């Protein structure tokens, strides 16, 4: 049985029949009724209607579902992309047929996301559009969907927000360690203690959560002082140098079998426990990813002092962190007022 709901200038059709459910949004009531009749006829023939049901003129949601099913698994950051795609595909905006979808729909979505009841940061919206742009580009080239142009390229993006400058302080570390019940000297045994160990290790290595929670002992080369990352977020492999502090942290944990993980928990588990701990400790505006920024900032200061030349230091820093964009790395060369004062004192000596 089909039901139709008109919102503004569009009509949403929803079919519930024989335990199956399908919905799509159209510009006119006639298009919605024609689609509903086709879906009902297919169900009567015994067909199973899938969320990513395609046909000649699929919904944008169906295109997203197909992309995260067929394309995303082979891309870096698959899990993040999967969760984003699943969330977007459920939204009313993307239930329209591709042939009826355009820049106007994305402009309306942009204004809703940035100025609606629960506005998001511009960086969040930009990430959503980057994902959708990839979806549309692939669908146009490979699946011949009825789109003449990528609609994302036809809208004005909001200005990028200022990059985060939050540093990880000693007070943050002490409060987290106390909350997670680890003295930072003994072997971590409980999962909560491993969270603190991993956070400190990330500060020393600039490794991402998705990296240090997947590394196995076969990739840890203590004698040679590096960890080999076979795959990273940007798709490249990377050798992560181990500082003396990183080596000291490694000495606290027992060496496992080659296929055993260095950090015995999943990325999601780490994130959940970290967020709980910082809230319990009363720490404001600290993200798990700030460990990577802290690591890069500390190394940037050392490289600047040793190398002197900013460009050379940037290249060395990119090798350490795995960043491909040197422009992004420049933010790590910003010193606090106290640090600049210390640097001036050093010049006078």
Cβ neighbours around 253 below 10 Å, total: 17
Distant-in-sequence, close-in-space partners of 274: CB < 8 Å, separation ≥ 6 = 195, 199, 288
Q: What is the pLDDT of residue 306?
A: 46
**How far is residue 165 from each of residues 8, 104, 245, 324, 334, measured CA to CA in Å?**
43, 35, 23, 20, 9
Condensed to tens digits (0 to 9), the pLDDT of residues 222-266 reads 999 999 988 766 667 788 888 899 999 999 999 999 999 999 999
Q: Which of 121, 112, 131, 194 is nearest to 159 (CA)?
A: 121
Helices marked H in the chain = 29-44, 60-70, 78-89, 103-115, 122-142, 170-179, 191-205, 209-212, 244-251, 267-281, 290-307, 310-321, 326-329, 337-348
What percent of the chain shows pLDDT beyond 70? 82
Q: pTM value?
A: 0.64
> Does position 344 have pLDDT exceeding 50, yes or no?
no
Tokens 């240090």, residue located: 212
Asked whether the predicted pLDDT for residue 273 surpasses 90, the reply is yes
Q: Do the beta carbons of residue 318 and residue 329 sit within 8 Å?
A: yes
More confident call, 128 vs 39:
128
State which of 46-50, 260-264, 322-326 shows the largest mean pLDDT: 260-264
Is residue 221 pLDDT above 80, yes or no? Answer: yes
Q: Determine the Cα–Cα distance for residues 169 and 311; give it in Å rounded to an integer.
A: 28
* Mean pLDDT over the full length of the chain: 84
53-57, 157-161, 246-250: lowest mean pLDDT where? 53-57
Residue 227 buriedness (CB in 10 A; 0-12 / 13-18 / 19+) = buried
Mean pLDDT of 264-286: 95
Give the C-alpha distances (Å, rounded to integers) separating 208 from 62, 173, 308: 32, 18, 27
């Amino acid at each position: 049985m089909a039901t139709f709901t008109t919102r503004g200038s569009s009509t949403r059709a929803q079919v519930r029949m024989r335990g199956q459910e399908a919905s799509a949004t159209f510009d006119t009531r006639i298009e919605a009724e024609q689609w509903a009749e086709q879906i009902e006829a297919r169900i009567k023939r015994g067909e199973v209607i899938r969320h990513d049901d395609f046909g000649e003129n699929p919904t944008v949601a169906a295109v997203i579902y197909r992309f995260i099913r067929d394309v995303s698994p082979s891309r870096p950051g698959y899990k993040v992309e999967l969760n984003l795609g699943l969330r977007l595909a459920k939204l009313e905006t993307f239930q329209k047929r591709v042939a009826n979808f355009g820049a106007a729909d994305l402009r309306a979505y942009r204004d809703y996301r940035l100025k609606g009841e629960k506005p998001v940061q511009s960086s969040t919206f930009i990430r959503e559009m980057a994902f959708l742009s990839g979806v549309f580009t692939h669908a146009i080239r490979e699946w011949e969907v009825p789109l003449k142009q990528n609609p994302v390229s036809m809208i004005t993006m909001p200005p990028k927000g200022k990059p985060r400058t939050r540093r990880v302080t000693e007070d943050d570390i002490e409060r987290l360690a106390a909350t997670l019940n680890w003295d930072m000297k003994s072997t971590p045994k409980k999962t909560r203690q491993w969270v603190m160990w991993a956070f400190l290790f990330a500060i020393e290595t600039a490794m991402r959560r998705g990296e240090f929670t997947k590394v196995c002992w076969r990739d840890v080369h203590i004698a040679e002082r590096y960890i080999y990352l076979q795959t990273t977020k940007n798709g490249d492999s990377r050798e992560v140098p181990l500082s003396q502090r990183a080596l000291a942290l490694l000495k606290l944990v027992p060496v496992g079998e080659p296929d055993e993980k260095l950090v015995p928990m999943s990325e999601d588990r780490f994130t959940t426990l970290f967020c709980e701990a910082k809230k319990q400790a009363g720490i404001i505006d600290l993200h798990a990813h700030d460990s990577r920024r802290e690591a890069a900032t500390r190394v940037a200061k050392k490289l600047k002092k040793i190398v002197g030349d900013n460009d050379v230091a940037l290249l060395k820093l990119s090798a350490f962190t795995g960043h491909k964009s040197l422009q992004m790395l420049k933010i790590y060369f910003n010193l606090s007022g106290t640090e600049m004062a210390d640097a001036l004192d050093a010049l006078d000596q």
